[in-house]
Amino acid sequence: MEKYADLPNVYHRPAMAGQHRVFRDRGHAGNILADMLAEFSVCPSLILGIPAGGVPIASVIAERMGLGLDLAVVSKITLPWDTEAGYGAVAFDGTTRINRGLADRLRLDEATISKGIRATTDKVDRRSSALRGERPFPDLSGKSILLVDDGLASGFTMRVAVEALSKRPVSEIWVAVPTGQLRSIEHLSKHVHIIICPNIRSSMVFAVADAYEQWSDVPESEVLAIMEKEIHG
């Protein structure tokens, strides 16, 4: 593990830089992140996985390091004509971030954006209820938090999660992602304490899935099973 170039709070694995298919699956990626975290003398005290893809990775890290695990539900605001592409994100507490440059280029009017925000807020609320039930959000006062996802492309989902947590009395925010686009890593590094990302890629065309040999969407049933195990042991 080394610091990345001139980013003093970003750590990567040089042998993985710019490479594709470096992780067998999310479990393998979680173990590599846990290995990297073990090199720090002090680590976060609570892990928050971003559903759905970040939760299996966060679960591996939590088990390896003996840390508590919970969820930070965040969802991208998708385009009306393409539900895979997003122009912003909404977090569990209603924090919202819009990529205004992209929205302007796509000529999205304010009515369309407002409708997208409302629909995404409803989705986040439903998902939070489905995955977390009636459990209150954990007390984060004075805690160092580790946010985990399965990759960082545009970075909007993670950035809105960080913004939401920054409103709470946390001591530090760390981010661990197996793979990330360099420009997104650079921007995010200004807003968090530490970023751990073994596979940093600088190419403009970036897909999180390209870092994995085995890749598929994570069903909510898998997230629920992970959280049930966390709650009940």
Domains of the chain are: 2-66+142-232 (3.40.50.2020), 76-131 (no CATH)
Q: How confident is the model at residue 8 (pLDDT cuts 50, 70, 90)?
A: very high
Q: How confident is the model at residue 233 (pLDDT cuts 50, 70, 90)?
A: low
- Between 16 and 85, residue with greater pLDDT: 16
Average pLDDT of the chain, as a whole number: 94
Query: What are the strands of the beta sheet with 172-176, ordered from one edge?
Result: 2-4, 7-12, 194-196, 172-176, 144-148, 46-49, 68-71
What pLDDT is stored for residue 232 in this prediction?
63
CB distance 182 to 154 below 8 Å: no
Helix (H, G, I), strand (E, B) or coil at 34: helix
* Both structure tokens of 131: 């995955």
What pLDDT is stored for residue 230 in this prediction?
81
Mean pLDDT of 42-51: 94
| pTM above threshold 0.85 | yes
Mean pLDDT of 84-110: 91
- Which residues, 6 or more positions from 144, have their beta carbon under 8 angstroms from its beta carbon? 42, 43, 44, 45, 46, 170, 171, 172, 173, 174, 193
